[in-house]
Each structure stands twice: as C-alpha cells, then as structure tokens.
Amino acid sequence: MNKRVRIMLVSALFLAGMAIALRYAVTGPAPEGAPPEKKSGSKFVPSASSPGKPPSSRGIVGGESGRTANPLEDLPDLTWSPRAVEETFASGDNTSMHRKMLALLMDAPAGHKPGLADHVANLTPDDEYAAIAWLISSRGVEGAAMEALLQDLHHRPADIKLPVMAEILSQENHPGAREAERALTIYLQVSHGYPSNAWRGAVEAYLATN
C-alpha cells in the first residue's frame, strides 16, 4: 500500500470517528428510568395510576367542596292534579306532607306553582329544609313561586338562611340577590359586592362564632 492510499484511509477513519463522537455528544444516552419516547398520534387514557379529572360535585351550599347531592331526587313519585293536591291535604300525614307537596310542585303547571310553593314553605320544618334550599339556589322555580320561597327563607334561623343567601349572591342575576345582599350586610356588617363568592367564607366565619 503506497503512502497516498494510507493517508486517505487514515483520514476517512478519523472523519467517521468524529461524526460518531459528535452525535453522541448532542443526543447523549437516555437517562436511567426515563419513559419511552412519546409517539405522535398516541392517545392518553386515564388509569388507576393516572386518574382523570374527578367529576364535579353537585349541590347548593358551601362551594364545590361543600356541595351535596340533589335532595329532590328522592321525592315521592306523584303526578299533579287538583285531586292529588286535595288527597295530600286530606291525608293528614304531617311527617311527609311537605315532601308530597314539593313533588306536586315540581310536576304542576306554571299557573299552579305559586300556590303550591306557598304550601311547601309553610309545611316544611327547619330540619327538612335542604330540598327548598336546593330549589332556591338552583332556580328550580320562577316568578311568584320563587318569591314565595324567598319570603319564607328570610324567616328561617340564621344557620339555615345565611348559607343559602351566600349561595344566591355567588350567582349572577338571581332573583333573590337584592334582599339577600341587604340581609347579609346587616348580619355580617361587611359588603363583598355582587356577585361574589366571598360571601360564602364570610358566612362560615360568622356562623362559627355566633
């Protein structure tokens, strides 16, 4: 092998070695325990070790963390009619009459809802108020029916009405907002404006010390 060929071979080997060294320096070895490279078009599927977003809670008072299930879901299965209303009154069952009236209210035509809402408000004891509270804050009734429930709300004990009022004031354009803001401003001696979620925390702090 002559001198010229030998020089050419050495140069070629040198250049090849430099190319390999350069590539290694740029990419480097994969770190130990590193996940495999993500391929385009792959779809993430939540699993037990990588859960997806939890379902949102439902309810009425106390924000997302304090909300409860819809209490209207377990009402008696009743169909409204004038006769059904008469029979409910005639039954004299004071322990469940308010729940039956509430079921009839939810099924009644719009023109009959205000009268039934008034009956529901008068018949429902404080310890069974959750369904009405949910109905008010979720705007399950409108107009005069809502007005009947809101008027009754202001006559309930503070630990019942204040959280519902705070929930009202966290929503835009709620029909009970004006009176709720007036009442809470008097109770709490502070104003957070409307709408505002700050009323919830203020009511919790007030009830914790009063």
Domain ranges, ordered by start, for the chain? 68-156, 157-210
Whether residue 37 is predicted with pLDDT greater than 90 in this model: the reply is: no
* Residue 177 CB burial class (10 angstroms; 0-12, 13-18, ≥19): middle
Instruction: Report the alpha-carbon distance of residue 130 to residue 166 in Å, rounded.
Output: 15
| pLDDT tops 70 at residue 19 | no
What are the backbone dihedrals phi and psi of residue 209, each rounded to the nearest 5 degrees, phi first? -120, 5
How many angstroms from the chain centroid is the CA of residue 106? 22
Q: What pLDDT does residue 114 have?
A: 98
Assign residue 123 a region (left: φ > 0; alpha: ψ between -120 and 50; beta: otherwise). alpha
What sign results for the dihedral spanned by CA atoms 18, 19, 25, 30? negative
CA atoms of 13 and 19, how far apart (whole Å) = 10
Residue-wise pLDDT tens digits, 97-132? 999 999 999 999 999 999 999 999 999 999 999 999
